[in-house]
A and B are shown apart, each in its own frame.
Chain A
């Protein structure tokens, strides 16, 4: 390369240096509309937004289910009362039998063959129904 060529290349290099410097100085800045669009995209695509609402919905579902169970139980109170009545009747019968045995009114074997046992056997189901609300 000749000296003239070097000078010419040096001039071209200087020109590029100036042009690049001016380009850096005039970088375009983002406008508000672009930033808003990007922010909207970010919020729409944010994965945790769905993850957060998921557990919240799930928590609501558990509470809802418990509430519905409670409401159903109240609406069907007899469904709870019947087994409670049966249990109370059985306990009462056992207690009465034990009390009679201890106090010499009947022995276990004698009671089983007595008319009282027959009466209780016939009457207890009715009493259980009465106590249970049926």
Chain B
């Protein structure tokens, strides 16, 4: 769900209060916006430290833009996610491919441990498959299928039409399925098919 879907004017009001000198408004905005922005950044980059840097930079740009913010032009959250997505795109293009997360060689075999390892392996596989998608497809899949944003918001964030969002989402999902097809058994999905 969009971060400020229940109060789209709430973020803009907080930003105006921040601009007028209200320090509590800055803290409130941080609490409202940062968790989902961080989630988006981490999914797009696959790296926690880089995701934090991106979110901090995006928030700094928000603070800087606050005095000139015109209510009604754009939702604060949508604007912020657009900045996050763009910063992630820049970093993703500069990024040197890193070794994929792998399972430990000798799991201890306890049920809880196995389940945690299975869950970790699934998320690592999803992350790896996402990383191999083209930028736009990865962005749309993350924003729509993981973050649950509506298509019009995604269109504004990514800078494409709503129809393009639907097309990118379909292609992205097909790409993920193809990338994960050979790992279904490994990831514990063999019996589900």
Contact = CB atoms under 8 A, between A and B. Distances in A.
Interface stretch (B82-90, B98-106, B156-164, B177-185): B177-185
A36 B145 CA distance: 30
Chain A facing B: main interface SS: helix
B181 to A, nearest CB: 7
Interface stretch (B4-12, B19-27, B71-79, B131-139): B19-27
A98 B51 CA distance: 95
A109 B193 CA distance: 132
Nearest to B145: A20
A96 to B, nearest CB: 66
B146 A20 contact: yes
B168 interface: no
B165 interface: no
Nearest to B120: A26
A80 B39 CA distance: 74
Interface stretch (A42-50, A115-123, A126-134): A42-50
B124 to A, nearest CB: 11
Interface residues of B, number: 47
Contact of B26 (A16, A29, A43, A52): A43
Interface in A35-82: 35, 37-39, 41-43, 45-49, 51-52
B43 A46 contact: no
Given A23-B43, A24-B148, A42-B63, A18 B35 contact: no
Given A12-B180, A19-B122, A48-B19, A42 B59 contact: yes
B164 to A, nearest CB: 21
Contacts of A29: 35, 38
Interface of A: 7-16, 18-20, 22-24, 26-30, 34-35, 37-39, 41-43, 45-49, 51-52
Interface of B: 18-21, 23, 26-27, 29-31, 34-36, 38-39, 42-43, 48, 51-52, 55-56, 59-60, 63-64, 66-67, 119, 122-123, 125-126, 145-148, 173, 176-177, 180-181, 184, 187, 189, 192-193
Q: Which 8 A-B pairs have the closest CB atoms?
A: A11-B193, A48-B21, A42-B26, A45-B63, A12-B177, A27-B39, A15-B189, A19-B126
